[in-house]
A and B are shown apart, each in its own frame.
Chain A
Amino acid sequence: MTDQVSSADSVATPSIFRLKFHGTGREYFGIWIVNLLLTIVTVGIYSAWATVRTNRYFCGATELDGSRFGYHAQPKAILIGRLIGAAFFIPYAILQHVSPTASLLLLLIGLTILPWLIVRAMRFRMRVLSYRNIRFGFDDTPPAVKMAYRYYLWMPLLLIPTAGLIWPYIQHQHSKYLATRIRYGNTAMGFRSDVGAFYIAYLQLILVEMSMFLAIGVIAIPIVILGVVLSHQPGFRHLMHSDLFRNGAPFLAGIAIALLIYPSFIALVLAFRNWLQRVTYNRITLGDMSVRADYRPWRLFTLYLGNIVMLLFTLGFAYPWVKCRTVRYLIDHIELTTRTGLHQFQAGAPDDSNAVADQVASIFDVDIGIGV
C-alpha cells in the first residue's frame, strides 16, 4: 500500500494542480442526441435521466490529480422535483394569458420563497457532487435561510434608490454567501472579500461595450456615405427602384446587421458571465488551497463567437462540440495551489437531500450563478 501523494506533501514548496477536462464532442454527441430523442419521445419524462447522464459525463470527464469528479443524483428524485415544478409553472403560464395581473401576483408570491429555494437547491447540487469518494455539501444550518432572504430578496430592493449601482456589490455578497457555505467533506470554503474587483469587472464591461458601439459606428458610417453617393448614380438609382431591391434590400440589410452585431453582443454577454465567475473563483479558498482561473477576455469572446457561428452553420448539430470546447477552456484554465496537498480532506456527516427544490428552482429559471 503506497501512499499516492504527489510532491504536495512537503510543507515548504506549494504545488500547483491543474484541472483537466477529458470530454470530447464525438463522445458527448452520442449522449446528447440519445437524450434529446428520448426526451421528446417520452414527452419530457426522460429529461430527468438525461440531466443525470449529462452531468455524470461532464463530472466524470473532469480530472484533478489523477482522480475524476462524480455526480450521484437519482433521476427519480429529479423527475419528482420537475413534476412539482411543472404543477406550479403550467398554471402560471396559462394565467399569463388569462390575467397578467394575477400571474404577476403569483410571481411575487413565488419571489418570496425564492431565497428558501436557493438554499435547498444549493444543498442538493453540492450534495450530489463528489471527488475521491468525498461528497461536497452546502451548510444550510440557521441563519442560512435568513441570510438568503437578506441577500436575494431585501438587498435587491436597494437597486431602485441606487439606480442599479449597488448591483456589483450585491453580486459580491451572493458569491461570498454561497462560497462560504460550500463544504468539501467537512472543510468549509473560504472567500476573500473584494468588492472592488466586482466593480472593476463591470467597469471593464462598460468600456468594452462602448468601444463596440464605436466600432459599429466606424464601420457603418462609410457604408452609409457610400450608399448616399451611389444613389446619385443614374444606373444605381434604376436598380434601387426595381421591385427586387425595394422588397429585398431592407430584408437583406436586416439579416446582415443581425448576423454581424447580434452574435457579437450575445458572445459578449456570455464571455462576461465567465469573466465575473473568474473574479469569484480567484477569491475562493479551501483549507490552505487557493484557486486561480486565468481566463483571457478576448479568448472568451472569440470562443463564444465561434460557438455561435458553428451552431448557426450546422443548425445546432454542432452543440456537443461547442459545449465540450467551452467546458474544456473553462476547466483547463483553473489551477489550485496548495502546500498540504489534496489527500487530507475529511468526509462530512452523511446527509439525505432531495431534488425537489433544485428542480422547482430550475424550472423557474433561477440562475444561482455559481458552479463550473
Chain B
Amino acid sequence: MTEPGRSIAARYYDGLSSASRNEIVTLSAAGLSIGGATPIQAAALNIVEPMGQAFWQIELPDGAMLELDGADGVAVAKALGHRETPIRRWERSLKLALLAIPLLILSVWGASIVAVPVMADLATDMLPRGTDQAIGASSVLVIDRMTSTSTIPSDRRQALRRRFKAMARDIVVDPPPYKLEFRDAPSIGPNAFALPGGTVVATDQMLAILTDDEVVAVLAHELGHVEHRHGVRTVFRSFGLAVLAAAVLGDASTLGNVLTALPVLVTQLSYSRSFEDQADGVALQWLSQPGRSPCDFATGLHKIQVTIDARSGGNSKGATPSWLATHPDTAERIKRFETACQRVKGAIAT
C-alpha cells in the first residue's frame, strides 16, 4: 500500500499545450505534492476512474492533469480516499459479468412477453376508439390496390351485410362505424380480415365456397379482432419491439439487424397467434348462443383450409413450424369448434 511520503512517477499535462512531462508525486497528510511543490488537498482533486485498464487521471484545480499507471493509480486513488464504484467492480468481475447473461436473457424475454404487450395495451386503451380508423386508413389503401370490385350478386351482399350489422351490435361493446366490404381477391384467395377501425373485408373467393351461415361464423371471428382492437395493438406492440431491439442492439446496427430479425419476427408471430385465439373465443361465445351453431365455423374453416391446400399444391401442414405461423394450428382451431358443435347438437337432441 502507499505509505505517506512514497514517491510515484506520473505524467503531467498542463492543459495549455500537448507537452507531456514526467513528474514525481508524493502523498502526505496534507494532500498530493507534485515535484516537491505545496501539496494540494484531496478535496480539490478530481479522480477520474478509468474504464478497464487505462490510466488513472487526476484533474487538478488549475486545469492541469496527472496520469498514473494502473497499479500506481489504484494506490494513489485509494490513499486520496477514492472508493471503487460498484459499477466498475461489476464490470471487472468475470463472475458478476457472467451472472448478467441469464439476467439479460430473462429481462429481454420478460420485456417481450410481458412489458411490451402490457405497455402496448395501455397505449391502446388510452387512445380513443375513434382514432382506430385513422390507423387503418393506410391498410385500406393497400387492400384496395391488391383487390378489385366484388362480383358477388348484390342481394347476397345485402343479406350478409344485414346479418353482419346485427352481429356487430352483439359483439362490439362500443361500436365504431363498422362496415363489411366485399372484394375480389384472386391473389389472396378465400379469406377475411379485420382492419383497425371496424372495416371487415371478405373475399369473393371465400364467399364462393362457404354458405351464408359459415360466412357469418367467420365474420364473428373478425369482429372479435375489431372488439379487442387487435389492429391497433399490433401497431403498438411492433413499435415496442422495435424500441426493445434498438436498446439491445445499441450501435451494432448493420450486423445486429440480421441477428434480431428472426427473434423479432418470432415474437410478433406469437402475438398474432394469441390474438387469433382471442378472436376465436369471441366467435365461439357468439355462436354458442341459442339459434346459432359453432359447427358453421368448423365447417367454414375446414373448407377454407382445403382450398388453400389445393392452391399451394400440397399439404401445407408441416411446411411451416408452429412457431413461424401467424395463426394457431388450423386442426386444433377446428377441433375447438367441433367439440362445442357436438355439445350444442347433443343439447338439441335431448
Q: Which residues of A approach B to under 8 Å, CB–CB?
A: 1-5, 22-24, 26-31, 33-37, 39-41, 44, 47, 50, 53-54, 56-57, 60-61, 65-68, 70, 93-94, 97-100, 131-134, 184-185, 243, 246-247, 262-263, 266, 269-270, 307-308, 311-312, 315-317, 319, 322-323, 342-347, 365
Contact A132 B243 (CB under 8 A): no
The answer, among A1, A34, A346, for a CB contact under 8 Å with B90, is A34
Known interface pairs A3-B21, A247-B319; A266-B92 also in contact (CB < 8 Å): no
Known interface pairs A34-B97, A60-B50, A262-B258; A98-B134 also in contact (CB < 8 Å): yes
Q: Which residues of B approach A to under 8 Å, CB–CB?
A: 11, 13-23, 35, 50-55, 57, 63-65, 67, 87, 90-94, 96-97, 100-101, 103-104, 107-108, 111, 131, 134-135, 137-138, 235, 239, 242-244, 247-248, 250-256, 258-259, 314-315, 318-319
Contact B22 A246 (CB under 8 A): no
Q: Which residues does chain A contribute within 8 Å of B242, judged by CB atoms?
A: 93
Q: Which residue of A lies closest to B104 (CB)?
A: A37
Closest chain-B Cβ to A370's Cβ sits at a distance in Å of 15
Q: Which residue of B lies closest to A262 (CB)?
A: B258
A-B contact pairs, 16 of them (CB 8 A): A1-B21, A40-B111, A44-B243, A47-B247, A53-B87, A56-B51, A67-B11, A93-B242, A97-B235, A133-B63, A247-B314, A247-B318, A263-B258, A323-B252, A343-B18, A344-B19
Q: Which residues does chain A contribute within 8 Å of B17, judged by CB atoms?
A: 134, 185, 343-347
Contact B18 A23 (CB under 8 A): no
Q: Compute how far the CA of A28 lies from the CA of B252 in the bound complex, rounded to whole angstroms.
A: 14
Closest chain-A Cβ to B333's Cβ sits at a distance in Å of 21
Q: Which residues does chain A contribute within 8 Å of B250, judged by CB atoms?
A: 35-36, 39, 47, 50, 54
The answer, among A37, A308, A365, for a CB contact under 8 Å with B255, is A308
Closest chain-B Cβ to A262's Cβ sits at a distance in Å of 7
Contact A33 B255 (CB under 8 A): no
Q: Which residues does chain A contribute within 8 Å of B21, judged by CB atoms?
A: 1-4
Q: Compute how far the CA of A58 lies from the CA of B131 in the bound complex, rounded to whole angstroms.
A: 47
Q: Compute how far the CA of A1 lies from the CA of B10 in the bound complex, rounded to whole angstroms.
A: 11
The answer, among B23, B54, B251, for a CB contact under 8 Å with A61, is B54
Contact A347 B137 (CB under 8 A): no
Q: Compute how far the CA of A66 lies from the CA of B100 in the bound complex, rounded to whole angstroms.
A: 34
Q: Compute how far the CA of A162 lies from the CA of B13 in the bound complex, rounded to whole angstroms.
A: 51
Contact A27 B52 (CB under 8 A): yes
Q: Give 9 nearest A-B pairs by CB, closest first.
A: A60-B54, A133-B13, A57-B51, A345-B18, A30-B97, A30-B91, A343-B19, A133-B65, A27-B52
